[in-house]
Amino acid sequence: DAGVTQSPTHLIKTRGQQVTLRCSPKSGHDTVSWYQQALGQGPQFIFQYYEEEERQRGNFPDRFSGHQFPNYSSELNVNALLLGDSALYLCASSYGQGYNSPLHFGNGTRLTVT
C-alpha cells in the first residue's frame, strides 16, 4: 500500500520563475493538504483540497495556487519565485472532512530558489 508520494524530490529554480510540485495521496485518501517548511521551522499550512476545491487556506499570497484532480492527486504551483520560497514543501493526505483521520505526509520536495 503506497503512502503519499511527491515529485520531484529536489528542484532548483531561479527567481521569477514558476514551479509545479506534484503529490499522490495515500490509497483511500481523498483530502490533500500542502505545507511549507523553512529550515529549522515547523511546517506552515498553505492550503487544503477536498472534492477538487480549495477548502481552507493559510497565510500565503496568491502566488501559491493548487489543484486537485478527480483521482485525488494534487499540484502546488508557485509563480514569480522569491528567494524566500526556498523550503521543503510537504504534501499530506487524509480521509474525509468530518472524520478523526490523521494526516499522512510524504517526504517532501526540496525547492531551492537562486
23 binds other proteins (CB under 8 A): no
CA distance 25 to 45: 17
- Collapsing DSSP to helix, strand or coil, 36 comes out as strand
Could you tell me the CA-to-CA distances from 28 to 8, 23, 114 in Å, in that order?
A: 22, 14, 38
Among 7, 79, 107, 114, binds other proteins (CB under 8 A): 107
For other proteins, the closer CB: 55 or 63: 55
Q: Does 87 bind other proteins (CB under 8 A)?
A: no
- Locate cell 487544503: which residue? 48
> Are the beta carbons of 15 and 21 closer than 8 angstroms?
no
Strand partners, 6: 23
The single residue among 19, 24, 31, 111 that binds other proteins, judged by CB under 8 A, is 31
DSSP state of 26: P
Q: Any contact of residue 58 with other proteins (CB under 8 A)?
A: yes
- Pick one of 45, 60, 65, 95: the residue that binds other proteins (CB under 8 A): 45
Contact status: 10 vs other proteins (CB under 8 A): no
- Residues that bind other proteins in the complex, under the rule CB under 8 A: 4, 31, 33, 35, 41-45, 48, 50, 55-56, 58, 90, 92, 97-98, 100, 102-108
